[in-house]
Amino acid sequence: MVFGEPFLRCSLRVSACVALGLAAPLAAQSTSPAPPEPAPPAPLSTGATSLDDALADAARPSTIPLPTGEPALEDFPPMPGDAAADVPWPTVESTTDSDADAEIAGDVRYAVEVKGLAPLGLQDEYEGLSALWSKRGEAANLAQINRRTIEDRDLIDQLLRSVGHYGGSTAIQILAPVRAGQPTRVVVTVDPGPLYTFDSISITAPDGPAPTALALPLLGLKPGDTVDAVKVTAATESLAAQLADAGYPFAQVLKPDITIDHATRTAQLVQSVETGPRAVFGGLHINGDTQGFDERHLAIIARFKPGQPYSGFGRDDLRRALIQTGLFGAVNIKAVAAGPPNADGTQTVDLQITTEAAPVRTIAATGGYSTGQGIRVEASWAHRNLIKPEGGFTVRTVAAEREQVLIGELRRRNFKRRDQTLSLRLGLSAEQQNAFDATTFGLGAAIARESNIVWQKPWTYSLGVEALVTRQRDRSAPSDPNNTYFIIALPGNVTWDQSDNLLNPSKGFRLTARVSPEFTLRSGTYFNYLKTQFDGTAYYPLGPVVLAGRLHLGAIAGASRGRIAPDRRFYAGGGGSVRGFDYQGVGPKDGDGSPTGGNSLTEASAEVRYRFTAFGNDVGLVGFVDAGQVYSSSLPRFTDLRYGAGLGFRYYTSFGPVRIDLATPLTRQAGDPRLAFYVSIGQAF
């Protein structure tokens, strides 16, 4: 029998599904009466609003004799068919007798045992919805327990139907305690019954040819699938969005028609779809709190151009991109027809964008500690839209025992093209390191294609220019302690990222190459050199454990170590290098123990990261081994490596892990610490 009434989601909430009628109380052993011999099915009555209603309507005879005093069974009558084909509706039975009733006549506490739902994946849903289960352990009388078992019989039937099982049975036994002090036992035994499947799925259209080739694959249902109310409803509800992604923003998906055959336990689904015209993108219009955005800037952010085929993905991507700017708290985009259809039958669609502003000012602070560098505190103030649109200004300061920084930076996001940033930077810094003292004034500019946690890109790059004036004291050159350097640098880098997470990767790899030609004027002498670096990291998961590795190589060619400004040389050691040693503690030193730096660098690290939950917190443990060395030659080597090892603790947050590492040098020399301690934000690599 075919019906065409509305077909909606069968909610797992008791209040949203039609309850089964139940007559027999649980005070004595009973079973549901056998279904009467059905009359030929009458035409389907109106009002079906769910898959359960559809099946009930399909099974409803024209008249059903009811015993006196029985509640009406209009919603779920016995299924039609001959005696051999009939499948009884779920029943509830109780094994309590008069003696048992007497034993639990007063208020008692009871325990619940459920059999048969866990293999179907329904145990959790049952426990979350069942009054019988949620009130277990509380005092209740027999009437209350009986009423809850009746409700549970209906609930279990609805749960079974939600995964395609119809005509099952539920036996509920109320057992008095064997010994004093034990709770009354309520044993729920579920037989799921037969599984109904679709034997045909088809697409129709109210007018014109059916868009079968387009809509049927998008529907995602096929013959042989179970008549699963949740799955079917989700498929039909998502079809309109999928058609929009395919270029039909005005598609209408009507309620499906279903034919039920209880004799063969199969069903046929006919889905009616009106696609409307295929659309192409038109203009972009924004209103509300625009934050300085206009149609020109929106066109830079959008991944589509006017005249290109419309897609729901393109529309949703634009919305996410606007949210990602941090300037909008809410963004709504509506597709509207722009005039009559085009000559080729397509429809031009404009996007109407309505926005609400988000706060644009941010104050942030971070801190860290290491035995080599002491306490480090960094704070910043930012206005993300000082120069509209997307011209953010940030003031950053660092206060540490060995470093003081004050920098102002202007960043224009989505500059000329999407995800491209233009930055201008001006700053003053002072450092007091073991290798040198330096006071530097600098300005710089860069243009970069950046990655972020929403769109992690496989390829990113940066090209820039820096102009520095720096006064430095080389502690390893007492005869020539102070020099002023004028430096022009042209740094650039490119990254190939195949990792799975920007902040906390667990698989994949990243490769980064950096090149910086640098031109230096020192004491009237001009020279230049090329500084290059390569950094590679890899991550391999083994269940809850991640194996991580890092290799970092650096080289300077064109000038000797002694001529290069001390802070431009390579150093190793510390929390981001070879742990267990002080900052700049690995590499050549002069007779007084001051690091000299070098023209090349080799660093390698290996970590075993174990992540788990403890006391409700997301934490982890890390074991690591680091190695590294600095060389005076222009090319790095793998000789005379210094090794450090240790253990770390991680506390995972939404902005990255808090890292605490304790390390010791394995190749300790005079002056090296026995233990080194590091606290910072983010993984070591």
- Picking from 607, 497, 619, the residue whose alpha carbon sits closest to that of residue 542 is 607
Q: How far apart are CA 27 and CA 93, in angstroms?
A: 10
Q: How far apart are CA 517 and CA 531, in angstroms?
A: 6
- pLDDT at 382 (0 to 100): 96
Cis peptide before 194 (omega within 30 of 0): no
Domain boundary among 357, 386, 403: 357
- pLDDT at 416 (0 to 100): 93
- pLDDT at 105 (0 to 100): 54
Helix (H, G, I), strand (E, B) or coil at 295: helix
Residues 403 and 309 placed together within one structural domain of the fold: no
CA distances from 392 to 305, 323, 406, 409, 446 (A): 27, 16, 17, 8, 15
Helix (H, G, I), strand (E, B) or coil at 482: strand
CA-based torsion, 381, 383, 386, 391: positive or negative: positive
Residues 386 and 351 placed together within one structural domain of the fold: no
- pLDDT at 371 (0 to 100): 78
Cβ burial, residue 582 (10 Å; 0-12/13-18/19+): buried
Residues 333 and 480 placed together within one structural domain of the fold: no
**H-state helical runs in 312-400:** 312-324
Domain boundary among 223, 240, 274: 274
Domain boundary among 357, 383, 404: 357
pLDDT tens column, 454-512: 889 999 999 999 999 999 999 888 777 789 999 999 999 999 999 998 888 999 999 99
Q: How far apart are CA 678 and CA 659, in angstroms?
A: 8
- pLDDT at 649 (0 to 100): 96
Residues 403 and 326 placed together within one structural domain of the fold: no
**DSSP symbol at 36:** P
- pLDDT at 47 (0 to 100): 35
Q: Which residue has the tokens 């035409």?
A: 43
Q: How far apart are CA 1 and CA 43, in angstroms?
A: 8
Average pLDDT score over residue span 33-56: 40
- Picking from 525, 512, 463, 458, the residue whose alpha carbon sits closest to that of residue 489 is 463
Average pLDDT score over residue span 120-124: 88
Residues 79 and 134 placed together within one structural domain of the fold: yes
- pLDDT at 454 (0 to 100): 82
DSSP result, 298-317: HHHH-S--TTSBP-HHHHHH
pLDDT tens column, 585-633: 999 998 888 899 999 999 999 999 999 999 889 999 999 999 999 999 9
Residues 483 and 552 placed together within one structural domain of the fold: yes
Residues 508 and 582 placed together within one structural domain of the fold: yes
| Amino acid in position 471 | R
Residues 493 and 554 placed together within one structural domain of the fold: yes
Residues 132 and 207 placed together within one structural domain of the fold: no
- pLDDT at 208 (0 to 100): 79
Is the pLDDT at 324 greater than 50, yes or no?
Answer: yes
Residues 248 and 298 placed together within one structural domain of the fold: no
pLDDT tens column, 76-121: 333 333 333 333 333 444 444 444 444 555 688 888 999 989 888 8
Is the pLDDT at 74 greater than 60, yes or no?
Answer: no
Task: Specify whether the backbone of 587 is left (phi greater than 0), alpha (psi in -120 to 50) or beta.
Answer: left
- pLDDT at 626 (0 to 100): 97
Full-prediction pTM beyond 0.85? no
Residue 243 tokens read as 């058609």
Average pLDDT score over residue span 562-582: 93
- pLDDT at 106 (0 to 100): 66
Helix (H, G, I), strand (E, B) or coil at 558: coil
More confident residue, 600 or 681: 600
Q: How far apart are CA 432 and CA 631, in angstroms?
A: 23
Query: Can you give the CATH number for the domain in which 308 is found?
Result: 3.10.20.310
Q: Dihedral (C-alpha) 500, 505, 510, 516: value to the nearest 10 degrees?
A: 130
- pLDDT at 303 (0 to 100): 93
Please, which pLDDT band fits residue 4 given cuts at 50, 70 and 90? very low
CA distances from 543 to 160, 161, 610 (A): 33, 35, 9
Please, which pLDDT band fits residue 304 given cuts at 50, 70 and 90? very high
C-beta of residue 668 within 8 angstroms of C-beta of residue 643: no
Is the pLDDT at 199 greater than 70, yes or no?
Answer: yes
Average pLDDT score over residue span 646-663: 91
Q: Which residues contact 332 (CB under 8 A, 6 or more apart)?
A: 319, 353, 354, 355
Query: Can you give the CATH number for the domain in which 632 is found?
Result: 2.40.160.50
Average pLDDT score over residue span 238-259: 91
The per-residue pLDDT of the chain, averaged, comes to 83
pLDDT tens column, 365-417: 988 888 777 888 999 999 999 999 999 999 999 999 899 999 999 999 999 99
- pLDDT at 86 (0 to 100): 38
- pLDDT at 569 (0 to 100): 96
Question: In which domain, by residue range, is 166 found?
Answer: 2-191
CA-based torsion, 232, 235, 237, 243: positive or negative: negative
Q: How far apart are CA 211 and CA 3, in angstroms?
A: 22
Residues 558 and 651 placed together within one structural domain of the fold: yes
Is the pLDDT at 518 greater than 50, yes or no?
Answer: yes
Residues 326 and 419 placed together within one structural domain of the fold: no
The tally of domains found in the chain comes to 4
C-beta of residue 298 within 8 angstroms of C-beta of residue 333: no
